[in-house]
Structure formats: C-alpha cells, structure tokens
Amino acid sequence: MSLTRAERKQFDEDGYVVKRGVVPPADLTPIKAALAEVIDAQVERLAGEGTFDETFADAPFERRLALICERYPDSVWDVMGPIFSGRFTGPEIFHSLTHPGLLSSVESLVGPTIIGSSVYRVRPKLPSWDRGEVPWHQDSGYFLAHCDDMLVLTCWIPLIDVDEGNGCLFVIPGSHRDGIIRHYTGGHGGYLEIADDDLPGAKPVPLPMREGDVLFLTNLTAHASFENRTEDVRWSLDLRYQDDAVPNNIGEDPSDYTPERDPVTMACHPPEADFVIRDPQRPEREVRDASVFHEMRERFFAGRAYHPGRGWTPLHERER
C-alpha cells in the first residue's frame, strides 16, 4: 500500500491525494462495532434516567444515531460526547492508527520513523446538523505556529461511502503552497474558519470516496465539508502522523506545559499525547500495546496541558 511515484507527485503539487482501498472494509468493522457500543451505552443510560423512551436498537449503524438525534435533538452531545473528541481511546482506534496498510502509505510521505500525531478524531456528520458542517480551514490553524512549515499528515478515512450528498470533503488544490492563511475563531459550528475572501483562487474539488479509501492531506491544505442531505450519518476518521523531527510531547508530562514555557519548545498540539508507532533505529520506543496507548492519552487529558493557542481574531470582530 505504499504510494506510487504519481501519487507522491500529486501530494507534493496539490497538497492531497486519494488512494483507493487502503483499509479493507472488514478491517473497519471492529471500530464501527466499538462506536455502536458507545452509542448503545449512552442511550441505555439516558433511557434508564427516563430521558429516552425509544432507543432505536434495531436500526443499522449508519442510521441509528440520526434517528436518536432527530427524536431527541437536545441530547445530541449526551450521546456523542464520548466519541466526538479524542477521548475515544480504546483498542479499536489504536488498531486503526497502526493499521499496516495505512502505515505503508504513511511511510511514503513521512519516512520510516512514524509518530502518531496527537490529534485524531471520529467524525459523525449528522443529517442537517449545524455542527456537522466544517468550514474552510487548514489543520495548521489549530497547531502552534512553529509547526507550520513541517508536515503533520492527515489521513481522512470514510467509514461509509461518501459523496456530495452526505458530506464528502472538498479541497482547494495547491492551497498548501503559500503557508498559513488567516483564520478566525467562532466560525460556523464553532470551528476555526477562513473567510471566503481570504481563500486561494483555485476551484474547490469534491472528493467522493468509498469506505476504506484514504485521503492524504498536508496540514496546510485548505479543506471543508458541507451539509449531509441524506438520512444516514456520514462516519469518518481523522488520523494524523508526523516524523520524529516535528515537535512532539513524547517523554513529557502535561505539567511540563506552563504559561512560562516558550511556545517554540512545545509540541504542535500540547493537550493530547503523541506516541511512537515505528522507529527502526530505536524499536524500544514503539507503543505496541493498546492499553499503554490508552493510558498515555488519558494522562494528558487528565493533566490538562497548557496550550497557548494562535491568537486568532474572533469572526465577529473581523474587519470587513
């Protein structure tokens, strides 16, 4: 599953490339089952508290969350909270992050020493849900500025087939070439947002994909996704990787991050734990046990490592 020369060329020139069939759908079954279990536990808890009188237990994976949130719109975060953030730290996400076929492609772009970059996310895009639409942004908008010129590779993996109807990603080819674009806080859905008149001039490209295809993005490639106009939930994974030269927090403690520390000495995204996936020169550094991965992640969440942020201006204060 290494990238071909043509795929690497497209990645370098356009800032993205889609590779088909990297992760067989059967290999995604465990993480979908784990997500279904989390939803089931939350729904059963809310039913036990008397909040829900219908659990939609017989609905398929792609549909159940949509039915729940249509019936109980005020309980969306009660159901999705454990999966929408990086707090989904079970063995299934660890095995997804370390999937051999995926890592073979990742190695083509970051080299043989692979660091699991701290920010990964499970993305359930609900039908007609305002928070599901993610405005134009670069991933570097969320990282510290000294990492802008380094590659933090995003691998976006749909857990169901995606197209423009249910919210596939759009990218702006070549938008990675001119560095960081000005972002604003408090954009659509509460996300960071690039204003329309600051976007590069190239025409956005939609990227329909099949389950298990992988979109490889640079951290400076402008991308967005829009409304899900179907009845099913569009599920996807954002996984990120970097080489060992990119700043990380391996071997550090959350307490090492304080307001007094110079930001240029910090990991690209301090609040979450990076980890070593492959290191041919020092294999003893590799995290091979899902329980160790879980403990590292939870320790950083509990420690609340200081994050100085970028100082972006709020969108409502933008000069027009």
At 164, which CATH number? Answer: 2.60.120.620
**Residue 315 included in any domain:** no
pLDDT in tens, 52-110: 999 999 999 999 999 998 999 989 889 988 887 778 899 999 999 999 999 999 999 99
Coil, strand or helix: which one is 306? coil
| Residue 190: inside a domain | yes
Could you tell me if 154 and 17 are in contact, meaning their C-beta atoms sit under 8 angstroms apart?
no
pLDDT-derived band at 130 (thresholds 50, 70, 90) equals confident
Q: Are residues 196 and 282 in the same domain?
A: yes
Residue 258 banded pLDDT, cuts 50, 70, 90 = very high
Contact 209, 121 (CB under 8 A): no
State whether 185 and 56 are in the same domain: no
Average pLDDT over residues 165-184: 97
The pLDDT tens digits of the residues spanning 181-233 come to 999 999 998 999 999 999 999 999 999 999 999 999 999 999 999 999 999 99
Residue 224 inside a domain? The answer is yes
- 272/302 same-domain check: yes
Specify whether 55 is located in the same domain as 186.
no
The confidence score (pLDDT) of residue 83 equals 85
Do 13 and 174 form a contact (C-beta atoms < 8 A)? yes
Shared domain check, 194 and 153: yes
Question: Is the pLDDT score of 20 beyond 90?
Answer: yes
Q: What is the mean pLDDT of residues 306-316?
A: 93
Q: Same domain, yes or no, for 80 and 97? A: no
pLDDT above 70 (res 8): yes
**Number of structural domains in the chain:** 2
Residues 78 and 164 in one domain: no
- Check pLDDT > 70 for residue 278: yes
Tell which residue, 113, 109, 137, 142, has the closest CA to residue 17.
109
Last residue of a domain, one of 57, 84, 111: 84
pLDDT on residue 320:
61
Q: What is the pLDDT of residue 82?
A: 85
How high is the pLDDT of residue 265? Answer: 97
Beta-bridged to residue 154, according to DSSP, are 217, 240
Same domain, 122 and 191: yes
57 and 96 share one domain? no
Point out the domain boundary residue: 84, 104, 130.
84
| 69-73, 248-252, 270-274, 290-294, range with the lowest pLDDT | 69-73
Residue 320 lies in a domain: no
Q: Determine, yes or no, domain membership for 312.
A: no
pLDDT of residue 316: 87
Pairing of strands 275-278, 114-116: antiparallel
Taking residues 274-282, report their average pLDDT: 97
State whether 64 and 161 are in the same domain.
no
Encoded tokens for 85: 């953030």
Question: What is the domain extent for residue 47?
Answer: 30-84
CA distance 241 to 236: 17
Q: Judge whether 311 lies within some domain.
A: no
pTM of the model: 0.95
Tokens of residue 236, six digits = 């996807």
Nearest to 205 by CA among 18, 3, 7: 18
pLDDT of residue 116: 97
Any alpha helices (H) in the chain, and if so which ranges? 5-14, 25-48, 61-71, 76-84, 91-97, 100-110, 290-303
What local confidence, expressed as pLDDT, does residue 76 receive?
86
Domain termination residue (choose one: 84, 105, 122): 84
